Structure 1
Amino acid sequence: MDQGTIGTIFTVVVFVVFVGVCLWAFSSRNKKSFDEAANLVFDDEEKKELNKKDQES
Structure 2
Amino acid sequence: MDIGTVHSIWTVILFTSFISIIVWAYSKRQKSRFDEAANLVFADDELDKSTLESERSKEA
TM-score, structure 2 length as denominator?
0.81
Unaligned runs of 5+ in 2: none
- Ranges of 4+ aligned residues in structure 1 off by more than 6 Å: none
Quote the residue 1:38 is aligned against: 38
Return the alpha-carbon distance in structure 1 between the equivalents of residues 50 and 11 of structure 2.
51
TM-score, structure 1 length as denominator?
0.85
1:1-20 alignment runs, 5 A limit: 1-20=1-20
- Using the aligned pairs only, state the percent identity: 46
Return the alpha-carbon distance in structure 2 between the equivalents of residues 4 and 48 of structure 1.
59
1:47 equivalent in alignment to 2:55: no
- Find the structure with the greater CA-based Rg: 2
Aligned-residue RMSD, C-alpha: 1.1
Shift of 1:33: 1.2
Return the alpha-carbon distance in structure 2 between the equivalents of residues 21 and 7 of structure 1.
21
Unaligned runs of 5+ in 1: none
Matched length: 57
